[in-house]
Amino acid sequence: MSDSNNILDVKNLSIQFGSGDGLVRAVDGVSFAVGRGETVALVGESGSGKSISAAALTKLAPRAAKFAGGSIWFEGRDMLSLSERELRKIRGSQISYIFQEPMVSLNPVFTVGWQIEEAIKLHQKGIDRKAEVQRLLDLVHLPERLATAYPHEMSGGQLQRGVIAMALACSPALLVADEPTTALDVTVQREILNLLAELSEKIGLSILMITHNFGIVADLADRVYVMQKGRIVEEGTTQEILYDPQHPYTKQLMAAVPRLHPRKEHYFTAEDSENTEDQK
């Protein structure tokens, strides 16, 4: 059963590729949970099984992947027992994904506003779609004029904001963000992370953040799971993991971060910007 405080409960999940001598245990008895409104990070080096775990939540794992055990509970429903039709309903209406490369989610030949509108069309009936596009653009702090821009006319950060607006068109309960800032330069990364933190606060979005970057964890996550070779080797609150890592692999990952902030940073709120103004 699932814990009702959690929006997502993954228990003992195992996913394999191949068989016999070629057997790869990509995900090997992994358990993690995301509480309501919580931001949880899944951290680990390349190939540790983060993306497969995330895709598996809505059974989007590659065709060759075999579910070898465990369970996935989302909003009290046993995801692995649902039909493809039921899963389709949940994908993109209750669980949204964003990825490293915004152009994976966007079509180059349509304006971003049009694509956001299409996402609205899929999920919300009988509403003023133009007004909803504006609301979503506002929510991700994109200027109104970009509704009529084509992807090639926008920067990487603007594109990722557009993709986040699309992902929010269905008012998802859970946003799965798989390396959402890896392709962006550092200042833009920070802006996108601030936006995600703001959304989690403002609309109560639960976020599963996948990253290999401990700096991102420090800034954004409430709790952390550290993955290595398909297993979770350590879990804890962000504070615990950052200041008192136990597992050698976690220590090693931490050492790879050039500079960690002395404490968890908070995000700019209206109040903060007033304070910042004061300090100028």
Ligand X SMILES: Nc1ncnc2c1ncn2[C@@H]1O[C@H](COP(=O)(O)OP(=O)(O)OP(=O)(O)O)[C@@H](O)[C@H]1O
Q: Does 181 bind Mg ion (CB under 5 A)?
A: no
| Rounded Cα–Cα distance for residues 211 and 51 (Å) | 9
Count of residues near ligand X by CB under 6 A: 14
- Select the span of 10-18, 43-51, 125-133, 193-201 touching Mg ion (CB under 5 A): 43-51
Ranges of H-type helices in 150-247? 156-168, 186-203, 214-220, 238-243
| Rounded Cα–Cα distance for residues 68 and 230 (Å) | 13
Q: Does 17 bind ligand X (CB under 6 A)?
A: yes
Taking the least distance from each CB to ligand X, the nearer of 50 and 115 is 50
Q: Does 248 bind ligand X (CB under 6 A)?
A: no
Name the minimum Å distance from CB 242 to Mg ion. 22
Pairing state of beta strands 95-99 and 174-178? parallel
Q: Which residues, listed in sequence order, are joined to residue 237 by a DSSP beta bridge?
A: 223
Taking the least distance from each CB to Mg ion, the nearer of 64 and 270 is 64
Q: Does 51 bind Mg ion (CB under 5 A)?
A: yes
| Rounded Cα–Cα distance for residues 149 and 110 (Å) | 9
Amino acid at residue number 245: P
Taking the least distance from each CB to ligand X, the nearer of 199 and 210 is 210
Q: Does 49 bind ligand X (CB under 6 A)?
A: yes
Name the minimum Å distance from CB 7 to Mg ion. 22
- Other residues' Cβ atoms within 10 Å of the Cβ of residue 259: 6
Amino acid at residue number 49: G
Q: Does 114 bind ligand X (CB under 6 A)?
A: no
* Subset of 204-233 contacting ligand X (CB under 6 A): 212
Among 8, 43, 52, 207, binds ligand X (CB under 6 A): 52
With residues binned 3-state (H G I as helix, E B as strand, rest as coil), the percentages for the chain, rounded to 5, are 40, 25, 35
- Other residues' Cβ atoms within 10 Å of the Cβ of residue 92: 18
- Select the span of 6-14, 31-39, 44-52, 123-131 touching ligand X (CB under 6 A): 44-52
- Select the span of 44-52, 56-64, 118-126, 219-227 touching Mg ion (CB under 5 A): 44-52
| Rounded Cα–Cα distance for residues 148 and 144 (Å) | 8
Site for Mg ion, rule CB under 5 A: 51
Site for ligand X, rule CB under 6 A: 17, 24, 26, 44, 46-52, 62, 64, 212
